[in-house]
Amino acid sequence: MNFRSDLPEPRRNFLATLGTITLWPKALQAAQKTAGRMHFIVISDTHIGRRDNDQAERQWRKTAAELKETPGDFILHLGDVVDGGRAEHYPIYRRIRDGIGKPVHEIPGNHDPGALFEKHLEKPTDRSFVHGGIRFILLNNAHSDSHDGFITEKQLAWLDAQCRKAQAGSQFIIFCLHVPVHANKHPDRGWYVKPQHGQKAFYEICARHRDRVIATFHGHFHNGIRGWDDHGSLHEIIFPSALYNLNRRLEEQKAPGYNLNEFRPGYTLIALEGRKMMLKYKPVEAKATAEKQFDLPAKS
């Protein structure tokens, strides 16, 4: 993918006329250093063991075979690794995942009991890593007895500390949480982090760090790529399930936000270059069809 032609006019002029990075405005320098050119992959909701048959396992095997051949520095898995939280399905997921040959960073969903997730995948569940100048902050906001999301006081304090670390390191931030924070209602699912469960405080943290928070990434909806960008420069994005997605006809029904017109099982290719982020929906065993492009915030 080449984004050079997508660069805004002033930026191209800088490249053409000045020709040297040291003369760029500070924010552009930081953004360039940060994003450079980077590719990663997002998957979600593999639901191994769904309906007590091996269909999810077979689909995951096909997906993993493609992921092995797909360029990308790492993979994010946004939760619901298994279906119904049964221990025997984690080793099945894990064996296939380990054949991909790339780092895979999972967060738990409402189908993943915390103890099993930590035993078979990663410990602790709330953690972060930095890649290409972006701090990926991974948080478990799912409960197995609810479809809503929950962010505790303790988690909020940890998130805030993580944001301060990003600030100290001059990093961008992407938050990964299974359940979206953004309010939504019919014809949407209506599942999110309610104001009293941490939503208000979470948005306050995002606002304090608005110059470096790029996006929140979520799974949970099985609804293709669905998102909102009505909180300043924050992009709140739900990613497709690798197993099944439903077309809820949100755009037809004028639901706020966007919903790309692709619902086959798949994953999302993400490219960052300069101040652009590009999402490409890749259905398994089919050509990529739907794309969306964003601008990153101008970091101070």
* AA identity, residue 264: R
Which C-beta is closer to Zn ion: that of 4 or that of 51? 51
x/- mask, Zn ion, residues 202-241, rule CB under 5 A, reads ------------------x---------------------
Assess contact for 233 and 31: CB atoms under 8 A. no
Q: Is 106 in the site for Zn ion (CB under 5 A)?
A: no
* C-alpha to C-alpha distance for 34 and 31, rounded to whole angstroms: 5
* AA identity, residue 278: M
**Smallest separation (angstroms) from Zn ion to the CB of 234:** 22
* C-alpha to C-alpha distance for 161 and 126, rounded to whole angstroms: 13
**Smallest separation (angstroms) from Zn ion to the CB of 222:** 8
Cβ partners under 8 Å of residue 162, min gap 6: 128, 135, 137, 173
Give the binding range for Zn ion (CB under 5 A) out of 103-111, 117-125, 163-171, 273-281.
103-111
**Smallest separation (angstroms) from Zn ion to the CB of 45:** 6
* C-alpha to C-alpha distance for 294 and 296, rounded to whole angstroms: 6
CA atoms within 13 A of residue 205's CA, in its CB half-sphere: 27
**Smallest separation (angstroms) from Zn ion to the CB of 274:** 34
Interface pick for Zn ion out of 49, 72, 85, 109 (rule CB under 5 A): 109
Interface pick for Zn ion out of 44, 46, 63, 110 (rule CB under 5 A): 110
What's the order of all strands across the beta sheet hosting 37-43?
104-106, 75-77, 37-43, 266-273, 276-283, 291-295
Interface pick for Zn ion out of 57, 80, 83, 273 (rule CB under 5 A): 80
Binding to Zn ion in span 236-295, by CB under 5 A: none
**Smallest separation (angstroms) from Zn ion to the CB of 164:** 30
The footprint of Zn ion (CB under 5 A) covers 80, 109-110, 220
